[in-house]
Structure 1
Amino acid sequence: MSFPLIFGCMALGGPWDRSEITSTQFDAAHTAVRAAHRAGFELFDHADIYAVGKSEAVFGRILAEDPELRRGIRLQTKCGIRLPGNTGPEGSPVHYRLDRDTIRASLEGSLQRLGVDSVERLILHRPDPLTTLGEAAQALDDLRSEGLINSVGLSNMTLRHVAAFQQVLSTPLTAVQIQMSLAHRDFVETQVLGNQSEGTEYNFPEGLLTHCVADEIEVQAWGAMANGIYSGRGAPEGDPTAEATSGVVTRLAERMNVSREAVVVGWLLRHPYAIRPVVGTTNPERIRACTQAPEAAAHMTHSDWYELWTAARGHALP
């Protein structure tokens, strides 16, 4: 892995409605994508639901205008969430579908919008209790045999899902994507609070990270920038813990001579399980700022890492 960060494309394409993509929205997306590529990003993360498909559509237009960019990047996309008026019909509830026809139709739609023949990885976005793992696995294996995908990923799923899919898939399962950040710390809280009453406040799939590391499955962290609350966006009003954490981030950034974004994202990179943060900002300056995260992780001491964790949780570890 030459560059550890992933560029998240959820914010490309304008609002989440069926309006046309404007020239301003296209220019903003093009600027962000080019900034990310120049900064070293190689893997770009999509989903069929993002901006009602416009995120993929605007990205496809960018690729069509820049064949060199297409040759220099890899793409992954997700399917399975059905939103009313988006991937699902108006008036329907939010639901999940991973039956064979839905998986195929979702991928074919993504490929058409992106203007490509295949993607590196298709990620199942959420589990669907009404579809057997065998049916979903067969659909994925068919897509791989046709050359439309190279591998499979799972998002927002448990260790049991991962282990079960490994049993029924012929296609390699190469990535698991789950929410992790300095603001969403369940993945480390559950490691140390197993015998503490405080531990009941946190929820993370037990054993997921160690299983992924043992089986060489890439762990991807969505929401890695914690919505920017520690790195410039500002803490929510009346949240002294977030304000205090921002102060620690700023102090460490100044000492390391890196950006605040780099410290926040670097906190994930400092973890020994080779977590790959998904960075979703479209601001070119913040995109470049995030590329200092490997440097921040390299300079982040054991004590620094724990100081950030302690500040973000608002009280000392037991």
Structure 2
Amino acid sequence: MMSTERNTPLTNPLIKTSKIAYGCMGLGGGWNNNPVTNEHIQQANEVIDTALESGITVFDHADIYTFNKAEIAFGSVLKQTPSLRDDMFIQSKCGIRFEDESAPGRYDFSSEWIAHSVNGILKRLHTEKLDMLLLHRPDPLMNLHELATSLERLNADGKFDYLGVSNMNLHQIRFLQSALDLPIVANQIEMSLAKLDWLNDGVLVGNEGMQSVDFVSGTLEHCQMNNIQIQAWGCLAQGRYSEAGLHSEDANIRNTAQLVLNLSEKHQVPSEAIVLAFLLRHPANIQPIIGTTNLDRIRASALAPAVTLSREEWYRLFVTSRGHALP
């Protein structure tokens, strides 16, 4: 069946990128007003080198990460070694504004703020354009046609090549796409062994507990039907299924961490690879975004694409993490 969506890409440009993406939220020295130091730049350099050496070429930013400092640290590395840019697919997000003297923390898809944000991102990253720009969180005050005009102008001006969204459901994506000639090619959603509503939504249809599912039905299917790359943030579940999880007071976490350990020994890979392989096994072609600054964990995560879990192993992880049997 052919899609009826406007300007659906025949193939997604991210299909040529690495199966794992690196999320840069941890760079820049923390969520504070301290300046970026040489130590922070060195950390970014080591992270970039480790990621690239491990086959990870997608780097995910947002203008708010560590109060702009993540992009500053990363951009300082690119300024020092411009040739690194040729090996990278760089994306960044905008649309979130912090609390200030005029208003509380809020979202802003106005043409003025989007343009201001994109220009700031490019300046901090020391790059002429982004490979992809993403809208970070839905703005209830979005003016559809104003936003579409702004995005298409920035694209025409060479500020970014591809457009994505983050934390949006299928209805929001379709609404935005209705005004755009530029196709939406990615959607970032929180997905992990610990955040399972994206799966529970499908298996609980017509069963008790469906009302408590925090996920909009049809979003996965919409993305698959329209060649929209799903990117998973929070995918390592903050390391709860590594060694520390074995000592958790939560029985579900303990049991899942033990299962992950057993599978890691069976497949001869670190636990991070098993946790990510769970996402990669799903037919939605999920691209996990890891956020660790631990170099060993980056290397461990990069091994995930080499692991193919059996149906039985995948379901064992799913059911164990849920904490109770499927209906």
**TM-score, normalization by structure 1:** 0.95
TM-aligned CA deviation for residue 236 of structure 1: 8.1
The structure 2 residue matched to 1:31, chosen from 27, 31, 46, is 46
Amino acid in the other structure paired with 1:256: H
**2:320 matches 1:305:** no
Superposition pairs of residues 178-257 of structure 1, within 5 angstroms: 178-234=189-245, 237-257=248-268
Superposition pairs of residues 62-101 of structure 1, within 5 angstroms: 62-84=77-99, 89-90=100-101, 92-101=103-112
Q: How far apart are the structure 2 equivalents of 1:90 and 1:180?
A: 34
Distance 1:159-1:308 versus aligned 2 partners, 3 A rule: same
Q: Secondary structure at the match of 2:35?
A: coil
Contact kept? 1:80, 1:124, Cα under 8 Å? yes
Identity %: 39
The structure 1 residue matched to 2:165, chosen from 140, 154, 161, is 154
TM-aligned CA deviation for residue 237 of structure 1: 4.5
Amino acid in the other structure paired with 1:82: R
Contact kept? 2:263, 2:274, Cα under 8 Å? yes
Contact kept? 2:246, 2:258, Cα under 8 Å? no
Q: How far apart are the structure 2 equivalents of 1:225 and 1:126?
A: 21
Amino acid in the other structure paired with 1:305: W
**2:72 matches 1:57:** yes
Distance 1:229-1:164 versus aligned 2 partners, 3 A rule: same
Q: Secondary structure at the match of 1:10?
A: helix
Distance 1:247-1:236 versus aligned 2 partners, 3 A rule: closer
User: What are structure 1's unaligned runs of at least 5 residues?
Assistant: none
Deviations 1:206-237 (A, max 9, x none): 11111111111111111111111002343684
Q: How far apart are the structure 1 equivalents of 2:174 and 2:35?
A: 42
The structure 2 residue matched to 1:128, chosen from 139, 152, 156, is 139
Contact kept? 1:229, 1:236, Cα under 8 Å? no
Amino acid in the other structure paired with 1:197: E
Q: How far apart are the structure 1 equivalents of 2:101 and 2:224?
A: 41
Amino acid in the other structure paired with 2:187: V
Contact kept? 1:231, 1:264, Cα under 8 Å? no
Deviations 1:34-77 (A, max 9, x none): 10111111110000000000000000001111122111101100
Q: How far apart are the structure 1 equivalents of 2:274 and 2:107?
A: 35
Contact kept? 2:170, 2:218, Cα under 8 Å? yes
Q: How far apart are the structure 2 equivalents of 1:138 and 1:178?
A: 25
Q: How far apart are the structure 2 equivalents of 1:93 and 1:221?
A: 28
Distance 1:56-1:235 versus aligned 2 partners, 3 A rule: farther
Q: How far apart are the structure 1 equivalents of 2:249 and 2:41?
A: 37
Contact kept? 1:181, 1:268, Cα under 8 Å? yes
Distance 1:233-1:124 versus aligned 2 partners, 3 A rule: farther
Q: How far apart are the structure 2 equivalents of 1:127 and 1:107?
A: 17
Task: Give the corresponding residue for 1:18.
Answer: 33
Distance 1:205-1:222 versus aligned 2 partners, 3 A rule: same
Count of equivalent residues: 312
Q: Secondary structure at the match of 2:133?
A: strand
Distance 1:232-1:14 versus aligned 2 partners, 3 A rule: farther
Q: How far apart are the structure 1 equivalents of 2:197 and 2:68?
A: 31
Amino acid in the other structure paired with 1:249: V
Q: How far apart are the structure 1 equivalents of 2:178 and 2:286?
A: 24
Superposition pairs of residues 267-282 of structure 1, within 5 angstroms: 267-282=278-293
The structure 2 residue matched to 1:295, chosen from 306, 318, 321, is 306
Task: Give the corresponding residue for 1:170.
Answer: 181
Which moves more between the two structures, 199-208 or 104-113?
199-208
Deviations 1:104-157 (A, max 9, x none): 000100000001110011100011111212211111101001011111111111
Q: Secondary structure at the match of 2:189?
A: strand
Q: How far apart are the structure 1 equivalents of 2:130 and 2:40?
A: 24
Contact kept? 2:235, 2:276, Cα under 8 Å? yes
Contact kept? 1:81, 1:95, Cα under 8 Å? yes
Contact kept? 2:197, 2:213, Cα under 8 Å? yes
Contact kept? 2:246, 2:255, Cα under 8 Å? no
